[in-house]
Structure 1
């Protein structure tokens, strides 16, 4: 199989159009450089982790805007949006981090989960799972 890279084009899907749009599909946007294969591997790991960690949601990983974006040198940034029609929120930027290269990536993707839940709750409070309101947390402590 030929290696995937900046010259390899995948069929582009517009997830915001009527045919493909779903409120249940969250978008993970990752900008990563092609200077080393580990950047692509880490992008895949991030998408897989969030799908396993939050199985009640569907996630769509979009890398470098399907090749339309020329990634910045040393870039590894993770953006998230509740769905394809909502704004993108930056979860992680490794642009100013490193060397060493390992500092460009989150040490543990679990650190991103609270921000993901916060974004999900912002748009669809009834759909968010695993996030307590500050008021809910106070009530829960008083009951103990």
Structure 2
């Protein structure tokens, strides 16, 4: 009997095609090395964190382009797009960080939330959560 989890490959979905596309689903692309299991664990944590932190959005986590991308040595990069048909934005790169290995990952995923909201606000101003307009930011600075 094969070990659990062997032989079951996650089905690759083209989130940009008409059948699966929705403006309500944001994409999180993570490139991570296979050097150590912690890289995959941290990638999964990031996806779960953003879904819990911004529950009004759907998030789809795509790791190493469904296995089609050969990750660079020591890679841990987080890219984000509003949906599957828009450009990606780099949120975090651990390529030039470390050792130690813990420096490859964001200390707190909360640090990514303002950038995610800024990207969402560009196209969906009514959907962004916790992002101040430029006028509101200036008012806050004056206080």
Normalised TM-score (structure 2): 0.91
Unaligned segments of structure 1, at least 5 residues: none
The answer to whether the aligner puts 1:2 opposite 2:24 as a matched pair is: no
Deviations 1:11-67 (A, max 9, x none): 110000111001010000000001100000000000000000000000000000001
Distance change (3 Å), C-alpha of 1:42 and 1:124:
same
Give 2:85's aligned residue. 85
Distance change (3 Å), C-alpha of 1:32 and 1:140:
closer
Normalised TM-score (structure 1): 0.91
Give 1:60's aligned residue. 60
Q: Equivalent residues in 2 for 1:23-102 (5 A)?
A: 23-102=23-102
Aligned equivalents of 2:5, 2:87: Cα separation in 1: 34
Aligned equivalents of 1:55, 1:22: Cα separation in 2: 16
How many pairs align? 140
Contact 1:94 1:105 survives alignment (8 Å)? yes
Aligned-pair Cα RMSD in Å: 1.8
SS in 1 for 2:45: helix
SS in 2 for 1:136: helix
Aligned equivalents of 1:31, 1:40: Cα separation in 2: 9
SS in 2 for 1:62: strand
Aligned equivalents of 1:26, 1:51: Cα separation in 2: 10
